[in-house]
Amino acid sequence: MTTVIPETSRTALIDEILELKAERGAAILAHNYQIPDIQDLADVVADSLKLARQATEVDAERIVLCGVYFMAETAVIANPDKQVLIPDPKAGCSLAETIQARDVRRWREKHPDGMVVAYVNTSAEVKAEVDYCCTSGNAVAVIEAIPRDVPLMFLPDFFLGNYLREVTGREMDIWLGECHVHAGLSPDVVETKRKEMPDAELLVHPECGCVTSILYYLNHEGKIDNHTRIVSTEQMMLRARVSEAKRFVVATETGVLHRLRKENPDKEFFAAAESAECRYMKMITLEKLRDSLRYLRYEVTVPPDIAVRARRAIDRMLAIG
Ligand code: 13P
Ligand code: SF4
C-alpha cells in the first residue's frame, strides 16, 4: 500500500532530506524497485550488482541504502570504512529468508570438492559460507567461470537456477527457494498480457515464475520470438533504450516502471501484473529516509569474522561481468 503525502509537505520533506544529506555527507543509493520519490532523490538508482559496485566507488562518508537489508549488508561488507544506514531495518527479503548458513554447510559435507554460488539475495551469514556471489546481472558469467567438472550448488532462487542450468548447459544442484513477488509472475499471467499486446517486447526478470516455460518454448518450440529478453533490472534499462519496440511488457516488481518511463519518454511500459509489488522495498518511505539522515539510524553492521569470509565471495562477484 502506498501512502499519499500532500504536495506541500512532500516538497518540504524532500527539501529537508536534501539539506540533511548535505549536512551528513551522505550518498543515497536506491534500488530500481524503490518508490519514485526516493528514486528521484537518490545519487544512484540501480540493480543490486551496480549498487554493490557503487557502494565501493561513491565518494561520501556514509551511505543510506534505500533497498532491502541484504543490499545494505553487502554495502557494509564491500566498504568496511563507511557507515551504512538503512531507513527501515525490517525491510527484508522473502527469498533470502529461504536459506540459512547451516543449509550450505550440510551440502558441503556431502560435496567436499564442490563449489557454491549464492545469489546476492542472501544474508551475510550465508555469503560467508559460499565461494561466489552473483546477481541476475552476472550470474551466467559467474557460473561459466567455474570449471565444469566441479560439483556445483546454486542458491537460493529456483527459477534463476533453472534458467542458469538451461543457458549454460551446466548440471547443478538448485535450492528450491523463490521470491513471492516474482513467482507470482507465472506463465498464465504473462501469457495473458502478451496476448493483449502482441506487438510489445517482453522484458522478464529471471526470478519470475514464467521463466522456465519461456525458455522451454524458446528452445523447443520456437513459439516465443525475438521480442523476449530475460534480463536483470539494470539490463532492462539498457534494453529499453536500444530496442526498436515502442511498447514493453515488464515482468518484475513494478518499481522499475518509473525509471523506464523517465528515461524513455517516447516509449510505453506496462506491468505484466500491477500486483507485483515487493512490500519490503516499499517499506522505505520519505519520512523514514529523513529520519535515517536526521538520527543517523539504522546503522547496519556485520560481525568482522562473517564480513571477512563473505567479502571473498562478493569480491569474486565484483570481479566478474
Ligand atoms: P536485480 O538483481 O535485478 O537488482 O534484482 C534484485 C531483486 O531483489 C530481484 O527481486
Ligand atoms: Fe526479495 Fe523478491 Fe523483494 Fe526482490 S522482490 S527484494 S527477491 S522479496
Whole-angstrom Cα distance, residue 314 to residue 120?
8
Mean pLDDT value of segment 243-249 = 96
Whole-angstrom Cα distance, residue 170 to residue 298?
41
Comparing C-alpha atoms, which of 289, 307, 295 is closest to residue 86? 289
With a 6 Å cutoff on the Cβ, whether 281 touches ligand 2 is yes
Whole-angstrom Cα distance, residue 49 to residue 287?
27
The β-bridge partners of 228 are 202
Mutate to test the pocket of ligand 1, among 44, 65, 136, 252 (most ligand atoms within 8 A of CB): 136
Per-residue pLDDT band for 7 (boundaries 50, 70, 90) equals confident
Q: Give the 3-state DSSP-derived string for the chain, with helices as H, strands as E and coil as C.
A: CCCCCCHHHHHHHHHHHHHHHHHHCEEEEEECCCCHHHHHHCCEEECHHHHHHHHHHCCCCEEEEECCHHHHHHHHHHCCCCEEECCCCCCCCCCHHHCCHHHHHHHHHHCCCCEEEEECCCCHHHHCCCCEEECCCCHHHHHHCCCCCCCEEEECEHHHHHHHHHHHCCCCEECCECCHHHHCCCHHHHHHHHHHCCCCEEEECCCCCCHHHHHHHHHHHCCCCCCEEECCHHHHHHHHHHCCCCEEEEECCCCHHHHHHHHCCCCEEEECCCCCCCCCHHHCCHHHHHHHHHHCCCECCCCHHHHHHHHHHHHHHHHCC
**Burial class of residue 84 (count of CB atoms within 10 Å of its CB; 0-12, 13-18, 19+):** buried
Give yes or no for a cis peptide into 217 (omega within 30° of 0).
no
Instruction: Assign domain 7-91+281-303 to its CATH superfamily.
Output: NadA-like (3.40.50.10800)
Which one-letter amino acid corresponds to residue 179? Answer: C
Mean pLDDT value of segment 6-24 = 93
With a 6 Å cutoff on the Cβ, whether 278 touches ligand 2 is yes
Predicted TM-score of the model (pTM):
0.94
With a 6 Å cutoff on the Cβ, whether 74 touches ligand 1 is no
Comparing C-alpha atoms, which of 118, 64, 117, 122 is closest to residue 92? 122
What percentage of the chain exceeds 70 in pLDDT?
A: 96
With a 6 Å cutoff on the Cβ, whether 208 touches ligand 2 is no
pLDDT digits (tens, 9 = 90+) for 267-316: 999 999 999 999 999 999 999 999 999 999 999 999 999 999 999 999 99
Which ligand does the CA of 49 lie closest to?
A: 1
The C-alpha cell at 235 is 539490463
Question: What is the layout of strands, in order, in the sheet containing 115-119?
Answer: 132-134, 115-119, 152-155, 173-174
Per-residue pLDDT band for 225 (boundaries 50, 70, 90) equals low
Which ligand does the CA of 157 lie closest to?
A: 2
Query: Residue 285 CB: number of other CB atoms within 10 A?
Result: 20
With a 6 Å cutoff on the Cβ, whether 91 touches ligand 2 is no
First to last CA, the chain: 36
Taking CA atoms, 293 is separated from 58, 61, 82, 126, in Å, by: 17, 12, 15, 29
The CATH architecture one would assign to domain 181-271 is 3-Layer(aba) Sandwich (3.40)
With a 6 Å cutoff on the Cβ, whether 168 touches ligand 1 is no
Whole-angstrom Cα distance, residue 200 to residue 192?
13
Which ligand does the CA of 179 lie closest to?
A: 2
With a 6 Å cutoff on the Cβ, whether 68 touches ligand 2 is yes
Alpha carbon of 112 to ligand 1 centroid (Å): 30
Provide CATH 3.40.50.10800 ranges for the chain: 7-91+281-303, 96-180+306-319, 181-271
Considering only 5-9, 132-136, 137-141, 163-167, which range has the smallest mean pLDDT?
5-9
pLDDT digits (tens, 9 = 90+) for 73-128: 999 998 888 999 999 999 999 999 999 999 999 999 999 999 999 999 999 999 99
The CATH architecture one would assign to domain 96-180+306-319 is 3-Layer(aba) Sandwich (3.40)
With a 6 Å cutoff on the Cβ, whether 122 touches ligand 1 is no
